[in-house]
Amino acid sequence: MRYAVLGTGSVGRTIASRLDELGHAVTVGTRDPASTLARTEPDQMGNAAFATWATAHPGISLATFAEAAASAEVVVNATSGDASLEVLGLAGADALAGKVLLDIANPLDFSAGMPPTLFVKDSDSLGEQIQRAFPDARVVKALNTLTAELMVRPAGLPESSSVFVSGDDAEAKAAVTALLTEFGHEDVIDLGDITTARGTEMLLPVWLRLMGALGTPMFNFRIVR
């Protein structure tokens, strides 16, 4: 499959490298490829400059958001939640039309410091906002309830855990579920339509406090039934 991963941060890099490892064609999308490659300092999270990472992953291409989305069969939104709508707008509605859009972003609001709150909740979600803004895309919310490394390598935990999918299009959810299974997830729960993304996005305040209590992001939820 041809994937576009929108976002050059740690989440985008982790998703892109795992897709490449699994044999998929991957293009990472960014605002300005030349500027992205010209940076030499670590990012605000301490990650190495993108050019350093790209050198270690020669099979992964870098392009503008629009170019990456246009060339892909599946688009992954790995941007920060507060930038997602803008970035997807730069990718272009036409480039997203008819495609599976895997949205893993969360609506985190850091304006009041840590821990962040949510800028949308209860009666709406970022997943729904994206679906409304791009009605011809087939949005599936998934993988937003665990850290990036466990998104793509769930065997990093000693026991199996659960992930969720939300979306209006059954075929799109099936495609995302197949990808999650390829990543190694064994318990993929279909919550229903895109409005159910409210629930998984509102897990983030709990997740953040668990990370603080446990001192590590290497954990996940397990639904026992």
Q: pLDDT digit string (tens) for 22-45?
A: 999 999 999 999 999 998 888 777
State the residue for tokens 């030349």.
Answer: 34
Predicted TM-score (pTM) of this structure: 0.95
List Cα–Cα distances, 153 to 56, 202, 209, in angstroms.
19, 23, 22
Mean residue pLDDT across the chain: 96
Q: How long is the chain? A: 225
Residue 141's pLDDT band (cuts 50, 70, 90): very high
Inform me whether the pLDDT recorded for 48 exceeds 90. Answer: no
Beta bridge partners of 64: 30
- The answer to whether 178 and 100 have CB atoms below 8 angstroms apart is no
| pLDDT digit string, tens, across residues 83-96 | 999 999 999 999 99
**Cβ atoms of 17 and 40 closer than 8 Å:** no
Nearest-angstrom CA–CA distance, 150 and 201: 17
> Over the stretch 10-25, which tens digit does the pLDDT of each residue have?
999 999 999 999 999 9
H/E element holding 201? helix 197-201
CA 131 – CA 7 distance, rounded (Å): 19
The tokens for 193 are 């339509």
Who contacts 58 (Cβ-Cβ below 8 Å, separation ≥6)?
Answer: none
